[in-house]
């Protein structure tokens, strides 16, 4: 059985989702999960795009040894040198060069002719070979490029030393049959692909909801690498979802006769960590990792599953690492049982984080009779949030109700350990809290999204609030958790402000520009 290489670009194309900016430490944390899951190649960033991106690619290349670490570059000398430097510490490093090839990009974006584009691409590949033998080349917008030009440029960059040719459906325009044909065509027309053992790769965007279907059509026609992201996040409507591709290849092994090296039990925990750190919620009906992916509502379906699971379930939830939603622990449970359960839920948690989560669990078990797997996941997710070390919420008191002017008093601890407190009125209790937080932090931004949901069942369930804030054109998200929804609202808002400050601080340190 042949193996399909999984090239994960959550940290590069995925991070291009609006509002999904990740800090340096968050990228490293996600890279650890990707390595543990068995991802073959991690595209860690676009080193020329910022000093922060350069540093995170470099750090990931230093620490992660189980996957190939890749840096993206345009076909521009400065980009290639920067990517080459960033991947230098990697045990196995790759440079991924892209240059647009479709007529629409040639005429309107690059304003260059075919020969010049071939020339630039060849020189870029030759330059990149000074850093590594593992070179990937992408003719950007390949799916809208004339086939004869695609042949020409593919032949030229292979001769210059490219070892992987990726054919992006950059704008999500292709249909499975036509996209598959591009692979079949190149393989039939270019013997060099077989002779040199060149790997062809898919990279599909989801603008028409075809990203996974198109990627699989590529595989059926000779692609042996698929580029994808966790939860399908990415530019615009996103990229092909890693978990869907991996499970399609596994569940329909009878059809594809191919596999991957992914440990599928890590899919669900990795999906959670990515959603938690990017703030991009996974839709309930999302295939494989959505909350409803294994829920059966119809009586007929429930009856069928109880009689024989496979009547209505094509995957066992345990194969993707989904917890069983049972009542697991209570206030008498000890550290050991808690640690076991956290590990069974698929987390790799450092001792200090586990200890903090255990303390939070005990506090929750005192407030709430039944502690479910979802509660434990939410608590651990909360500990995994990377501590930005700026402001910490220590108290919220609110007065509101009919005929009362909503008033909030908020207390914070700042990074010097000083306690600061202020009060404000608002249109409602959440507005009053947010206005007090703006006064305390001095960060004024607009709230562009506010969502609230119950983590588990019953009126005593923990509430999770997710917010999106906008400041000077930059969007950031934050998440807060508590059995008190007003406290959860304050936590979410403060998390977003802390993230804004951390990103601005990083930029300030690295470029000298002003912060928030
Ligand atoms: O979608 C695209 O074309 C890309 C390239 C950089 C590979 O992301
Ligand atoms: Zn892309």
Tokens of 95: 């440079």
Q: What is the H or E stretch that residue 378 is in?
A: helix 373-384
Determine the atom of ligand 1 nearest the C-alpha atom of 166: 7
Same domain, 318 and 426: no
Tokens of 122: 């060849």
Tokens of 450: 């506010």
| Domain limits for position 142 | 2-278
Question: Is residue 513's pLDDT more than 90?
Answer: no
Same domain, 258 and 179: yes
Same domain, 366 and 404: no
Same domain, 234 and 104: yes
The answer as to whether 373 is a domain residue is yes
SS3 call for 215: helix
Ligand 1 pocket test target in 100, 140, 171, 226 with most atoms within 8 Å of CB: 140
The answer as to whether 287 is a domain residue is no
Same domain, 191 and 207: yes
pTM for the full model?
A: 0.83
Dihedral of alpha carbons 437, 439, 443, 445, sign: positive
Site residues for ligand 1, CB cut-off 6 Å:
13, 98, 138, 140, 168, 170, 203, 205
User: Rounded distance, CA 463 to CA 58, Å?
Assistant: 38
Tokens of 218: 């590529």
How many distinct structural domains can be found in the chain?
3
Ligand 1 pocket test target in 9, 13, 235 with most atoms within 8 Å of CB: 13
SS3 call for 393: strand
Of 11, 161, 5, 166, nearest in space to 86 by CA: 11
User: What rounded mean pLDDT belongs to the chain?
Assistant: 91
Cβ atoms within 10 Å of 26's Cβ, excluding its own: 24
Distance 225 CA to ligand 2 centre (A): 14
Tokens of 181: 């044909």
What pLDDT does residue 510 have?
36
User: Rounded distance, CA 423 to CA 396, Å?
Assistant: 10
- Region 179-197 average pLDDT: 98
- Region 38-62 average pLDDT: 96
Ligand 1 pocket test target in 7, 70, 203, 233 with most atoms within 8 Å of CB: 203
Tokens of 322: 């989904």
User: Rounded distance, CA 195 to CA 158, Å?
Assistant: 11
Question: Is residue 506's pLDDT more than 70?
Answer: no
State which of 360, 384, 408 marks the end of a domain: 384
Q: List residues, by chain if needed, whose CB lies under 5 Å from ion ligand 2.
A: 13
SS3 call for 6: strand
Of 305, 262, 265, nearest in space to 288 by CA: 265
The residue whose CA is least distant from atom 8 of ligand 1 is 13
- Region 131-140 average pLDDT: 98
- Region 464-493 average pLDDT: 89
State which of 337, 352, 384 marks the end of a domain: 384
Same domain, 83 and 21: yes
């Amino acid at each position: 059985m042949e193996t399909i290489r999984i090239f994960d670009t959550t940290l590069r194309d995925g991070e291009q989702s609006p509002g999904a900016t990740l800090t340096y430490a968050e990228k490293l944390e996600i890279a650890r999960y990707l390595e543990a899951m068995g991802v073959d190649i991690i595209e860690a960033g676009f080193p020329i795009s910022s000093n922060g991106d350069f540093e995170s690619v470099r750090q990931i290349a230093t620490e992660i040894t189980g996957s190939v670490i890749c840096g993206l570059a345009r076909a521009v000398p400065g980009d290639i040198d920067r990517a080459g430097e960033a991947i230098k510490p990697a045990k196995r490093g790759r440079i991924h060069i892209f240059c647009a090839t479709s007529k629409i990009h040639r005429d309107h974006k690059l304003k260059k002719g075919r020969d010049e584009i071939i020339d630039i691409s060849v020189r870029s590949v030759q330059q990149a070979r000074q850093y590594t033998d593992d070179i990937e080349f992408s003719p950007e917008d390949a799916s809208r490029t004339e086939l004869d030009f695609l042949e020409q440029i593919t032949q030229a960059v292979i001769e210059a030393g490219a070892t992987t040719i990726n054919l992006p459906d950059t704008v999500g325009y292709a249909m499975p049959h036509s996209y598959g044909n591009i692979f079949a065509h190149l393989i039939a027309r270019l013997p060099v692909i077989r002779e040199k053992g060149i790997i062809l790769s898919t990279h599909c965007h989801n603008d028409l909801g075809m990203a996974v279907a198109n990627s699989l059509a590529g595989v059926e026609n000779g692609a042996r690498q698929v580029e994808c992201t966790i939860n399908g996040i990415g530019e615009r409507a996103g990229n092909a979802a890693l978990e869907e591709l991996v499970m399609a290849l596994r569940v329909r092994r009878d059809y594809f006769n191919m596999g991957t090296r992914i440990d599928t039990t890590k899919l669900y925990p990795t999906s959670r960590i990515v959603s938690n750190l990017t703030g991009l919620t996974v839709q309930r009906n999302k295939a494989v990792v959505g909350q409803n992916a294994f829920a059966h509502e119809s009586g007929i379906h429930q009856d069928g599953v109880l009689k024989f699971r496979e009547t209505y379930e094509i995957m066992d939830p345990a194969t993707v690492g989904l917890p069983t939603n049972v009542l697991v622990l209570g206030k008498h449970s000890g550290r050991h049982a808690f640690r076991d359960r956290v590990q069974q839920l698929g987390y790799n948690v450092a001792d200090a984080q586990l200890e903090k989560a255990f303390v939070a669990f005990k506090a929750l078990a005192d407030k709430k009779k039944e502690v479910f797997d979802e509660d434990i996941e939410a608590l651990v997710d909360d500990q995994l949030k990377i501590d930005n070390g700026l402001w910490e919420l220590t108290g919220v008191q609110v007065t509101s109700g009919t005929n009362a002017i909503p008033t909030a008093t908020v207390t914070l601890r700042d990074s010097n350990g000083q306690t600061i407190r202020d009060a404000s009125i608002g249109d409602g209790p959440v507005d009053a809290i947010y206005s007090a937080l703006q006064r305390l932090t001095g960060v004024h931004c607009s709230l562009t999204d506010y969502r609230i949901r119950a983590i588990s069942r019953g009126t005593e369930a923990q509430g999770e609030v997710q917010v999106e804030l906008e400041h000077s054109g930059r969007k950031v998200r934050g998440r807060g958790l508590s059995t008190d929804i007003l406290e959860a609202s304050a936590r979410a808002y403060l998390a977003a402000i802390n993230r804004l400050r951390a990103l601005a601080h990083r930029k300030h340190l690295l470029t000298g520009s002003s912060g928030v």
